[in-house]
Amino acid sequence: MRVLGVAVRAEPRVFALSVAASGLYAAMTVGTAQVLGWATEEVILPAFRSGDTTAGALSAAAAAILAVALFKALGVAGRRFYAGLMQYRMQARYRRAVTRQYLRLPLAWHHRHPTGQLLSNANADVEATWAPIAPLPMAVGVVFMLVIAAVSILLTDVTAAVVGFLVFPAIALLNVLYQRRLAPVATRAQQLRAEVSEVAHESFEGGLVVKTLGRERSETERFAGAANSLRDANIAVGRVRGLFDPVLEALPNLGVLAVLWVGSIRLEAGAMTAGDVVHVAYLFTLLAWPIRALGWVLAEVPRSVVGWRRVRGVLDAGGSLPYGEHTLDGERGGDGGRAASLEVREIRFAYETTTQDADLGDPAGDGGAPPEIPEPPEKPEHARTTVLHDVTFSADPGRTIAIVGPTGSGKSTLTALLVRLVDPEDGLVLLDGVDVRDVERGGVAETAALVPQQTFLFDDDVRGNVTLGLDVPDERVWEALRLAQADGFVAALSEGLDTKVGERGATLSGGQRQRLALARALVRRPRLLVLDDATSSVDPQVEARILQGIRDAQESGGGAATVVVVAYRKATISLADEVVYMEHGRVLDRGPHAELLTRSEGYRNLVNAYERAEAEQEALGADGETGEGEEQEALA
């Protein structure tokens, strides 16, 4: 009831209209019985007794029946329209709320929740939460109907009313048993829907890997296992419903038979008239179907409660990034501003992993806590893995810093901290001398841009993927493409900037996708540019031209930016003013590339190993582009 109360408070006017229409339906349902009882007593029986009737009497009876039927139809139409409107509005409202929450929550929260489960929260769980809204006005109307009918039946004959009313406690008891049997199996089915979404999402995301390794059969079997479990859970739900639904359908009809039996006895005794028997029996016949609306609401309650608890677990999740009121100095680099200064002071960071489902959280809600059934799970346990330890370095405005280290040394995590996708546990990240946690909302995004390792392109044209809604002229787009060495292959595309690139850039090679992602960052003219191995799929010569172009822009002031680049190629590293060498989440050395080669054995071995691997790759013929925009994926 508290869950449904949230919907009523959110849409009071629509709910009131749907209930009013349902009330009209209820009143006309009782009115139908009254009219039939009157027509039986005043028109039909006199016609049998006298052997004839008048057109006026028949017309009056027909007009009364048609009038009641018309108002009853209006009540049905209004009830269904406004109930559906309310249901879809609530679903849309909470889908938007869940999606906004996903965007607000930090990456640390997303690391603990699989994407398939988040899709289930925003879709299946929201739908399940508000599934009872559609039959709710009908159920409320049934309450009105029962009150009106009870008064009408009691006024007609108390004995028949008492016999008929025995049906209602039986239905209530059966519904209680029904909910207790249905709740656990409905809970399991709802959870398995999320698991099926998780498996499907992983399989689709890893489609290239699956096909490359020939693992289609194993993925099919893995999905089949989850789908079969969901099938079995849904069958279990169907069995419970199949057991109780026929009984719930039969009880009102048994009540009608009981009323007819008692009514016939009292009719023979002269305690009731034939019109009274028709009135009471027909009223119970009409009530048999609407009473099921109560069962429909109750049948959806277990799934609704489970869905609500899962949705509220997302909406009540903590860990949002706090913002301050500071603005960063200068405008965007290319608009006449200056490059940003960067300082990292003794930052530490650890990832949390959850040992059980963590999206259910402590229940709370808009205007009231959700129901306590089913019981919330135990608080999830978290394991921590520290990946950065007291990392410290700085970069003056306009300088280029190369971050070098073996796999797993924390380089990508560091880049996420620099643009404040996550916050460090300890230490500071300072832009222009301001702690990024004290910068106003959107301030860091206006100043810094990150090009990550994994490139994501939308199913949009080239222009849309570069601008992502930024209102800039095409000249600026082409300028960014030229700097990213992407203007050549874009110009060669069939429709240039208007060419659709397909889902995730399926029509482009890996190097082309990386260059578009780089242009996406450059078109914003950031004052801090962070490249997380952002040119790994690009030919080394093309990469050198890209980085040299960025450096030339720095020196000319036309695109003033401080650059932090995660690199492994010696040619790339040598372009940096300073190198930060990391291992196991710690900075082991800093300085110019030439000096580190001399004094740091670990650095020298790592860079030389990269160079040897690249030389071997070139010897095997995987040395980059074989034609305009056709790069081979380079191996690190």
Q: What is the DSSP string of 348-396?
A: EEEEEEESS--SS-S---TTSPPP--SPPPPPPPEEEEEEEEEEEEEE-
What digits encode the pLDDT tens for the residues 166-179? 777 777 777 777 77
113-127, 331-345, 416-430: which has the minimum mean pLDDT? 331-345
pLDDT at 368: 37
Q: What is the pTM of this model?
A: 0.62
Instruction: Give the model's confidence band at 386: pLDDT under 50 very low, under 70 low, under 90 confident, else very high.
Output: confident
242-251, 256-265, 494-503: which has the minimum mean pLDDT? 242-251
Q: What's the angle, vertex CA 457, arms to CA 453 and CA 462, rounded to 5?
A: 125
Q: Is the pLDDT of residue 418 over 60?
A: yes
Q: Are 192 and 229 in contact (CB under 8 A)?
A: yes
Q: Which two tokens stand for residue 308?
A: 């609500």
pLDDT at 614: 62
- What percent of the chain lies above the pLDDT cut of 70? 82
335-619 sits in which CATH class? alpha beta
Mean pLDDT of the chain: 76
Q: Where are the domains of the chain?
A: 2-315, 335-619
Residue 70 CB burial class (10 angstroms; 0-12, 13-18, ≥19)? exposed
The winner for highest mean pLDDT among 110-124, 135-149, 207-221, 395-409 is: 395-409
pLDDT at 633: 35
Q: At what angle do helices 136-156 and 158-165 cross, to 10 degrees?
A: 150
Q: What's the angle, vertex CA 33, arms to CA 31 and CA 38, rounded to 5?
A: 95
Rounded to whole angstroms, the Cα distance separating 434 from 88 reads 45
Rounded to whole angstroms, the Cα distance separating 502 from 507 reads 6
> Measured in Å, how far apart are the chain's first and last C-alpha atoms?
58
pLDDT at 628: 36
- Pick left, alpha or beta for residue 391 (phi over 0 → left; psi -120 to 50 → alpha; otherwise beta): beta
> Strand 448-451 to strand 562-566: parallel, antiparallel, or no bridges (unpaired)?
unpaired
Q: Is the pLDDT of residue 145 over 80?
A: no
Pairs from 337-340 (Cβ < 8 Å, separation ≥ 24):
337/527, 337/560, 338/397, 338/398, 338/527, 338/560, 339/397, 339/398, 339/527, 339/528, 339/554, 339/560, 339/561, 339/562, 340/397, 340/431, 340/432, 340/447, 340/448, 340/527, 340/528, 340/561, 340/562
Rounded to whole angstroms, the Cα distance separating 481 from 520 reads 8
Nearest CA among 125, 136, 121 for reference residue 82: 136
- What percent of the chain lies above the pLDDT cut of 90? 0
Q: Are 387 and 409 in contact (CB under 8 A)?
A: no
User: What stretch of H or E contains 408?
Assistant: none
Quick one: average pLDDT of 379-406?
A: 79
pLDDT at 548: 73
pLDDT at 287: 65
> Strand 426-431 to strand 400-404: parallel, antiparallel, or no bridges (unpaired)?
unpaired
Instruction: Give the model's confidence band at 498: pLDDT under 50 very low, under 70 low, under 90 confident, else very high.
Output: confident
Rounded to whole angstroms, the Cα distance separating 576 from 555 reads 13
Quick one: average pLDDT of 56-67?
A: 85
Q: Is the pLDDT of residue 337 over 60?
A: no
Cis peptide, bond prior to residue 452, ω within 30 of zero? no
pLDDT at 436: 85
Instruction: Give the model's confidence band at 365: pLDDT under 50 very low, under 70 low, under 90 confident, else very high.
Output: very low
pLDDT at 398: 81
Quick one: average pLDDT of 31-50?
A: 80
2-315 sits in which CATH class? mainly alpha
Instruction: Please name the residues in contact with 173: beta carbons below 8 A apart, sequence gap of 6 or more.
Output: none
Q: Residue ranges of the alpha helices (H) in 269-359?
A: 274-315
pLDDT at 376: 39
Quick one: average pLDDT of 370-386?
A: 49
Instruction: Please name the residues in contact with 609: beta carbons below 8 A apart, sequence gap of 6 or more.
Output: none
